[in-house]
Every structure is written in C-alpha cells, then in structure tokens.
Amino acid sequence: MIREAVIVGAGLGSRLKDMTKDRPKGFLELDGSYLVEMSIKKLLEHGIERIIIGTGYCSEWYEKLAKKYPAIETVHNANYAGTGSMGTLEVCAAKVTSDILLLESDLIYDSVALFTLLNDHHRNVVLGSGATNSGDEVYIAVDENIEVAAISKKLEMVGKSYAELVGISKLSYKTLQAMCSFAASHHQDMPKMEYETALVGAQKMGEHLFVRKVNYLAWREIDDASHLEMATKEILPRIQENESIRQVRREVLLNPGPATTTDSVKYAQVCADICPREEEFGQMMRWICDELTLFIGKKEDYETVLFAGSGTLADEVMVSSCVPQDGKLLIINNGSYGQRLAKIASVYKMDYEVYESSTYEAIDLDALGKKLDEGSYTHLAAVYHETTTGLLNPIPQIGRMCHDRGIVTIIDTVSAFSAIPIDMERDCIDFMASTSNKCIQGMAGVCFVFCNRKELEKLKGEPMRNYYMNLYDQYQYFSKTLQTRFTPPVQILNALRQAIIETKQETIEARYTRYTACWNILVDVVKELGLEMLVKEEEQSHLITAILEPQDGKYSFEEFHDLAREQSFTIYPGKLGNINTFRIANIGDIQPHEMEQFAQFMREYFRK
C-alpha cells in the first residue's frame, strides 16, 4: 500500500515566461483551479496520507497551500537554481519513510493514472502514454520485460519509443535511496541532474524499473503557453468527462446513518485482496486506531480498540466489559439508545439502575447530581446524542459531575463522534463507542471503543461476561500481534482508512460547521412551513431533527418518503412511543446546496 507522495515543484518554469513571473508552475490556473491543487485532491482521494512537496522558486505559494491541506509537508531546496529536479528529490527523500508516488508539479491528468500505478503489482513503475504530439515529448524505450531501456527527449537516443513519459512514477523506498546515492556520486559532474537520469542510474545499480503504458491517457505536462492552451481546450474536458462517467449515482441519505459517503470512500473498497494476517494489514489497522485516537486525545493516554460489527456491538462491548463484577452502573435513559444500554445491562444481569429523563427535554443536572450522591455507583452510562430525537445531552457537564465523584463514564457517541468535537480528557469520558458509518463517513461494518488507557488497564484479569465482545482481550491481542482475534472486514477497513484521511482534511470542527449549515437550511424551511420540532432548537445536536407530523389527514409518511426517494433523498420515520415524528438527519457527505434542494422538495410537498 502506498501512503506517501512526493511532488517536485522547485523549478523556475522559465518557458512559461510572464505566466510564472510571480508563481511556481504548479500554480498555473486551469478552469479556476491550480494545477498542483487538482493533483493534491486526486492523491488524497486515492489514499495518499502524506504529500511531501519539494519547493524552491516562489516557495511561499506552497507554504500557503500547506496550510489548507494538513497532509502536505514542504521541504525547501535552497539551491533550486543550481540543481535540477533530482536535487529537489534528494531534499525530499530525507523525509520519505516508505514507497512513494513521485509526481511533477506541472501536470494535469486523469486520476486513472494513479489507480493504474497503485494497482500495478510491480514496486517500481514509470507511467507512460501513447503519442501526445505535445512538442515536448520524453520518450521511453523498453526491453523484452517492459523494463526501462532508455529515457530521453531525443528520439535518436532511445531508438524505438515504446511510450511517452508522463511524469508520475511509483518507486520503492530502496529504489529512491539508490537514486539518491547515484545523484550524490555525480554532484560534481552533473549538478543539474533530472530525476529521470537518476532513475536510469538506479537501474544500472540493479533496481528493476517497469513501464506501464496507458495508451489513451488524458494528460498534459505544461511547460509553455501552447501546452496550457492544449490542456484547457482539449485535455481538461476529456478528463472531466472521464471522471464524471466514473461517479457513482448520488443518493442523499437523510436517515440517521449509514450516512452518505464520498465516491473516494466507496472506491477505497475496490482493492487488491489481502490476508488480514499480513503485517501490512496489521500496520494499517494500527494506523486507523492511532488516527481515531488522535481525534479525541493523546496516544499516550487513550487507545482505540476495533471490532467488526455495528454501533450496538460497541455499546455492548463497553457495558459488558467496562463494569467489574462488584461495580454498580447508573444508566441515563432519555431515548431509544439509552434504553438499549439498559437492555444490554439487563441481559448480562448486571447490578444497574436506570435514571429516567424526558425524551425531548434537557436532563435536570441537579436531580441527576442527587441521584449520583445517593447510590454507590461506580460507573455511569449515557448517550451523547440521542439519535431518536436529536437531543444533545450535556455530556461534558455530566462527565465532570461523575469524575468529581470518582465515577467512571461510559458514553455512546455513535452519532456524535466526528461531528461534535470531543476531547475525552476535557469532557471527562473514560470509554466511548462509535461506528464507521456515521459522522466519520465510512461504510457500515466496523465499530470502535475509545478507552482511557488507565481505566482499560484496570480491566485486566476481570472475569469475562462474553468472549467475542471482550474489550480487554481484543485490546491485548491486537497490541501483541497487530491482528484482531477474529476475521476483520478488510474492505470496510480500507474504506474507513480513506474516511479518516478525508476527515483529517476537512477537520471535525469544519465538518460540524458544514453539518450546522445544512441543519440551518432545514430548520428555516421547517419554520417557513409552520411545522414543529420535537426538541427546542438550543438543545438540538444540529445533526438530526425530529419533526412532528402534521395533523392533516392528507399527510402520509409513506407518500412523503416515496416522493423524496424518487428525487434521491432518503428520509426516516420517527421512533418515539406515542409521538408521531419524521426525522431528517444531515450527517454524512452532504453539501448545503443539496439540503437546499431538499428544502425545496419539502416546500412543494407540504404546500400541496
């Protein structure tokens, strides 16, 4: 699996004259976007976690871009005017930790280029295309194994051209090191070496370098004004058409999860088969756990444990594993999911009590405080966001009240995590559960328990109430072996990895702002239509809204649902005893303009 990319972007771009007077080539604009930024988005969509950019000329442009993309790390080649692309790659190589994709900064390309290289079974692959007639061709000749025989701009130097060099390659860590040592031995006689020369140099040192040709690849390198014109008029429209053909039919899920996902998350499931017992897969799961942890706290103090299963499984893991035999649990119930926590405790015949609170009004914290003082509770379980109603419980306050009394907190954050910013230490949460298919925007099938490490370690030696769902056993086994005890859902984990990359890019704070923008659009239309919401606005989560069904005899949820579905919107019935509601969730990869479209649909339906 390739996780890192290097972009060499230090050059002057002198052939572009005035167009690069104030900026590097990567910042030429095409259809309103910077070349290099289009490339960065494609890399992120293809599972690249870390993008190292070698800068030189006008490096401040890249510094600015790095602020927008947390995955970018820049490295400056101070001697960019005195070196070639290999000099910049040498500076970048010091930061590289694994196999890479290597790209030039002045390219536009169909993302199938990345898919092709990432899927090629060779470790070192140079991407080639058919004839471009661009006037600046770099030819590649190959031997009988389709390994590079020669690379040159001069056709007579390569003999017979097999393909044109695109400027995107996949390289092993070892080959990159060989390129660097080749370059280092020629600093005197070839100070302006291009990376292509070092590629061939590394090959002479024994590295195998294959060529993968995609005959009709839509791509262009932009080195002069004529390339820019070709790129705008001819290539970009082809790329846009190809990429739109590959888009998955859009369904906007306004049900409270599984939530709408990006196409890149969907496509992340289409990957080479792998045995999950391979070290490579174990490392990926380790990365997933660590990155999930970093969303809620420090790795030293918190640990994330993965399970195959849905959100309820993570709830059952927590309730059944985190309360010792002599512990006493208080469960707050103010909706279906609080009730579910109580049901789990009852099935295991645990020592527990239920604290009942209104399903649509805020919890009375004074009364809860008294209750906590009365019983000798060791643990408290509650739901952060009651998805039944959209009521947001004041977990940070409740957490504080518990910690002040030495009570361990177990929180269901199934529909809150990755939307509402949570800091487990600040919010006094010891264990919390969530799942892959809600606000983290992955596929259904994986759930996780975030654990306060100190509290987790205290569970060592506790008798197990169950086997498959035991938290400590799963944690212990994974820590030792980098494997889960039982078969993990491989493709769902790949998709979760992609969802994490995209969450890091968006950030949880910005995601909550986007969700809130969508919620505001919904609330506006609800008020405009004279509909009523179950929960007071200020106590709502901004993630899901329960709306009272109109008393009009003509209203039918089925009809409303079916008409919405025809327009690719999925809505959800309410779920609360004798109060009839329908629910609109606005989590997942939903954009405000889509919520506007749904608001318009609601206007038309309810006015009719």
Q: Which residues bind ligand PLP (CB under 6 A)?
A: 256-257, 310-312, 315, 337, 383, 387, 412, 414-415, 435
223 touching Mg ion, by CB under 5 A: yes
Least distance (Å) between residue 516 CB and ligand PLP:
18
Q: Which two tokens stand for residue 384?
A: 């952060």
Q: Treating both helix axes as pointing N-terminal to C-terminal, what angle do 195-204 and 85-93 enclose, rounded to 10 degrees? A: 70
Residue 435 interacts with which of Mg ion, ligand PLP, none, CB < 5 to 8 Å by class = ligand PLP
Q: Looking at beta carbons only, is 100 or 444 nearer to ligand PLP?
A: 444
Q: Looking at beta carbons only, is 13 or 201 nearer to Mg ion?
A: 13
136 touching Mg ion, by CB under 5 A: yes
Least distance (Å) between residue 377 CB and ligand PLP:
21
Q: Looking at beta carbons only, is 83 or 310 nearer to ligand PLP?
A: 310
Residue 393 interacts with which of Mg ion, ligand PLP, none, CB < 5 to 8 Å by class = none
Q: Looking at beta carbons only, is 2 or 585 nearer to ligand PLP?
A: 585
- Phi, psi for 46 (deg, rounded to 5): -100, 25
Taking a C-beta distance cutoff of 8 angstroms, is the pair 158, 131 a contact?
Answer: no
Tokens 């739901």, located at residue: 383
The secondary structure of 543-604 as a DSSP string is SEEEEEPP--TT--HHHHHHHHHHTTEE-EE---TT--EEEEE--BS--HHHHHHHHHHHHH
Q: Return the residue nearest Mg ion (CB atom).
A: 223
Residue 256 interacts with which of ligand PLP, Mg ion, none, CB < 5 to 8 Å by class = ligand PLP
Q: How far from 258 is each of 254, 422, 476, 557, CA to CA, in Å? A: 9, 21, 30, 20
- Helix (H) or strand (E) holding 329, with range, is strand 329-333
User: What does the alpha-carbon distance between residue 84 and residue 79 come to, in Å, rounded to a whole number?
Assistant: 9
Residue 310 interacts with which of ligand PLP, Mg ion, none, CB < 5 to 8 Å by class = ligand PLP
Residue 106 interacts with which of Mg ion, ligand PLP, none, CB < 5 to 8 Å by class = Mg ion
Residue 136 interacts with which of Mg ion, ligand PLP, none, CB < 5 to 8 Å by class = Mg ion
Q: Looking at beta carbons only, is 45 or 316 nearer to ligand PLP?
A: 316
Least distance (Å) between residue 546 CB and ligand PLP:
13
- Helix (H) or strand (E) holding 369, with range, is helix 365-374
Site for Mg ion in 100-129 (CB under 5 A): 106
Q: Which two tokens stand for residue 315?
A: 């709830």
Least distance (Å) between residue 108 CB and Mg ion:
12
Least distance (Å) between residue 434 CB and ligand PLP:
9
Least distance (Å) between residue 241 CB and Mg ion:
25
User: What does the alpha-carbon distance between residue 58 and residue 202 come to, in Å, rounded to a whole number?
Assistant: 30
Q: Looking at beta carbons only, is 339 or 378 nearer to ligand PLP?
A: 339
Least distance (Å) between residue 231 CB and Mg ion:
12
Nearest to 139 by CA among 151, 130, 131: 151
Site for Mg ion in 513-542 (CB under 5 A): none
Task: Determine what percent of the chain falls in helix, strand and coil, rounding each to the nearest 5.
Answer: 40, 20, 40
Least distance (Å) between residue 340 CB and ligand PLP:
7
Least distance (Å) between residue 266 CB and ligand PLP:
19
User: What does the alpha-carbon distance between residue 211 and residue 158 come to, in Å, rounded to a whole number?
Assistant: 14
Q: Return the residue nearest ligand PLP (CB atom).
A: 311
**Cα 607 off chain centre by:** 39
Within 10 Å of residue 404's Cβ, how many Cβ atoms? 11
User: What does the alpha-carbon distance between residue 72 and residue 50 come to, in Å, rounded to a whole number?
Assistant: 6
Residue 223 interacts with which of Mg ion, ligand PLP, none, CB < 5 to 8 Å by class = Mg ion
Number of residues that bind Mg ion (CB under 5 A): 4
* Dihedral sign computed on CA atoms, order 6, 12, 13, 15: negative
Residue 414 interacts with which of ligand PLP, Mg ion, none, CB < 5 to 8 Å by class = ligand PLP
List residues binding Mg ion (CB under 5 A). 106, 136, 221, 223
